[in-house]
Amino acid sequence: MSNSLVELSVVQPGQVTPCCPPITSAELSQADAEKMAAMFKALADPVRLRLFSKVASHPAGEACVCDIADVGVSQPTVSHHLKKLREAGLLASERRGTWVYYRVEPSVIAAMAALLDNPGPR
């Protein structure tokens, strides 16, 4: 892991803008499809999905790697999966001393939910 810090931005309510229109409203652009495919591909692995869930549901809104590493794989494998989630834009990380803390990027869940939003029959 890198020793560099990742600056976490604070998003105020109402500032979150989904990246893509709901899939039922219009055809996705190439760029939007690639962005969302990378996110869904990263979440398609059961270990990554569990790690993402542990971070997203953590009461503090962020989780230390020491609190989420118990997913049935070795620590280097956990680090690999967390790196893939960061590369896909799903997680942000910040090193504090010897530990790394993770949080879900603020717009991620809103973007995925908006993409999959189904307003019902047209």
Amino acid letter, residue 4: S
- What DSSP designation does 62 have? S
pTM above 0.85, yes or no: no
CATH entry 1.10.10.10 includes domain 30-116: yes
Mean pLDDT, range 64-72, rounded to an integer: 92
Percent of the chain with pLDDT over 90: 52
Write down the pLDDT at residue 1: 40
Residue 7: which residues within 8 A CB-CB, separation 6 or more?
none
Q: What pLDDT shows up at residue 21?
A: 62
Every domain of the chain and the residues it spans? 30-116
How do residues 2-17 score in pLDDT, each as one tens digit?
443 333 333 333 444 4
Interacting residues of 92 by C-beta distance below 8 A, sequence separation 6+: 6, 8, 86, 102, 103, 104, 105
- In DSSP terms, 95 is beta-bridged to 100
Q: Which pLDDT belongs to residue 55?
A: 95
Statement: residue 112 has pLDDT above 50: yes
Confidence (pLDDT) at 117:
75
Q: Which helix (H) or strand (E) holds 94?
A: strand 91-96
